[in-house]
Amino acid sequence: MSGTAQIGVSGLAVMGRNLARNFARNGFSVAVHNRTTSRTDALVQEFGDEGTFVAARTPEEFVVALERPRRLVIMVKAGNPTDAVIQEFAPLLEDGDIIIDGGNAHFEDTRRRERELRERGIHFVGAGISGGEEGALHGPSIMPGGSKESYGSLEPMLEKISAKAKDGDSCVTYIGPDGAGHFVKMTHNGIEYADMQLIGEAYQLLRDVAGYSPAQIADIFRSWNTGRLDSYLIEITAEVLSHVDAETGDPFVDVVLDQAEQKGTGRWTVQIALDLGVPVSAIAEAVFARSVSGHAALRAASRHLEGPSAHKLGEDEAAAFADQVEQALYASKIVAYTQGFHEIAAGSEQYDWNIDLGEVAAIWRGGCIIRAAFLDRIAGAYEAQPQMPSLLADKSFAEEIGAAQDDWRAVIATAVTRGVPTPAFAATLAYYDSLRAERLPAALTQGQRDYFGAHTYRRTDREGTFHTLWGGDKTEGES
């Protein structure tokens, strides 16, 4: 038996509830279901007049309410709950029906689920959804992975509910087979970690070196947001910095415990990058920085460690320093995105996903947390040169970063001499310098490896693999 609801959403916490409302507001009839039925009732009671909802109390009622092929969006906690819900629904489904997992699943789980469900004739779409609860309601950026056929059935609906970029394009595109969508969403979150860390370092420099107050720094971020750094994260940074705690009257940032939390997607991005051999140092430093911040006891036990004597800058110096920090932030941001796109390219190659990097940049222009004006340019750069080995191969980004480099270096040097930690600024500059270096100390590393473990090395002047007989007569042999 099948019903008339065009789409179903199961899992009605903040994300699922708002996504269901988004479908309904866009004219689609939506079957809604949640393990705890009070959430279903509350949704229909509060927002029933926004569109056509069909409340389902059981998985059976939910499935029967849907037109064929059935399209079921699962928005439950990632991990075991997702498997539990799939186990409940799958036996009730028929050939060609589609389960869409909109949660933050690990892409390897998505690959497994897609394989298992495909064997049962059911399509499984792992769709990364970014934009938080506001995005889910007003238009998120959507990164669907799965069979092309199932995307065809979902495309018109997803295009309607997704965010729109400034040129009106929908922020959704088919990413690739099985886990491709969740992989791209994971990397999006990794880049988000790096972006937030870089902004945090810029803030701390403006505060501790330039001596600006949070309200003054908010104004600086507001002015940056009118230029090339124009982005959602810069915009909300200004809002957070200008917010005053109602109880104490102090700046909000001064009453919040400085221990950052994380849910795991940043860590996954780094773990996978290690497996793929991709240097994502900006993301790794961001994950580590959150980890350091959370080690309260370790930090408390380290207060005796000496730092340099500090003096704040004068007014003119501070203004000039703020301009330099803008240059540093922009240069580091280009590197962070370069690294993230490298990871997507490497994942695409490893898993045969054929991901279009320009399209990924294009659907991140609206709705998602890292939406930013300069993603337009990244999209354009990949469109012009789809096989570009790195974003830094793009002439205009290379020129911009080249123009920023003096200030970038000066800011990091100042941070080092003043004892202000800027791990992501420093890591991105080191990456840039590593790429442009004619010779890296890796030759010495190879010599050491050959010395202690006979690991062999290759030479600059001849083909082949060599091993030196260290000690003894030191003759060189080809292995």
- Residues interacting with ligand NBP, by CB under 6 A? 11-16, 34-36, 39, 75-78, 81, 84-85, 103-104, 129, 132-133
Q: Give the nearest distance from C-beta 81 to ligand NBP in angstroms.
A: 3
Closer CB to ligand NBP, 15 or 199, in the complex: 15
Q: Give the nearest distance from C-beta 58 to ligand NBP in angstroms.
A: 12
**How would DSSP label each residue in 24-75?**
HHTT--EEEE-SSHHHHHHHHHHHGGGS-EEE-SSHHHHHHTBPSSPEEEE-
> Residue 331 is which amino acid?
A
Closer CB to ligand NBP, 79 or 211, in the complex: 79
Q: How far apart are CA 140 and CA 427, in angstroms?
A: 31
- List the catalytic residue out of 50, 108, 134, 192: 192
Identify whether the C-beta of residue 393 lies closer than 8 Å to the C-beta of residue 385: yes
Paired sense of beta strands 71-74 and 53-55, if any: unpaired
Instruction: Please report, for residues 113, 281, 286, 297, 425, the alpha-carbon distance to residue 196 in angstroms, rounded to integers and kept in the order given.
Output: 32, 14, 8, 24, 12
Q: Give the nearest distance from C-beta 426 to ligand NBP in angstroms.
A: 30
Q: How far apart are CA 287 and CA 196, in angstroms?
A: 11
Active site residue 263: no
Q: Give the nearest distance from C-beta 127 to ligand NBP in angstroms.
A: 10
Helix (H), strand (E), coil (C) string for 299-335: HHCCCCCCCCCCCCCCHHHHHHHHHHHHHHHHHHHHH
* Total residue length of the chain: 479
Closer CB to ligand NBP, 103 or 214, in the complex: 103
Closer CB to ligand NBP, 126 or 251, in the complex: 126
Closer CB to ligand NBP, 133 or 159, in the complex: 133
Identify whether the C-beta of residue 236 lies closer than 8 Å to the C-beta of residue 224: no
- List the catalytic residue out of 185, 326, 333, 400: 185
Nearest to 75 by CA among 132, 6, 157, 154: 132
For 230-249, letters b (16+ CB in 10 Å) and e give ebbbbbebbeebbeeeeeee
Q: How far apart are CA 429 and CA 411, in angstroms?
A: 11
Q: Give the nearest distance from C-beta 76 to ligand NBP in angstroms.
A: 3
State CA 343 to chain mean position distance. 11
Query: Which tokens in the block code for residue 123?
Result: 């399509």
Q: Which residues share a beta bridge with 145?
A: 126, 176
Q: Give the nearest distance from C-beta 346 to ligand NBP in angstroms.
A: 24
Q: Give the nearest distance from C-beta 13 to ligand NBP in angstroms.
A: 3
| Nearby residues of 270 by Cβ (< 8 Å), 6 or more positions away | 190, 280, 283, 284, 287
Active site residue 77: no
Q: Give the nearest distance from C-beta 358 to ligand NBP in angstroms.
A: 24
Using Cβ positions, the residue closest to ligand NBP within the complex turns out to be 103
Closer CB to ligand NBP, 82 or 242, in the complex: 82
Nearest to 132 by CA among 173, 195, 185, 201: 185
Closer CB to ligand NBP, 135 or 177, in the complex: 135
Query: Which tokens in the block code for residue 300?
Result: 């408390």
Closer CB to ligand NBP, 25 or 35, in the complex: 35
Active site residues: 185, 192
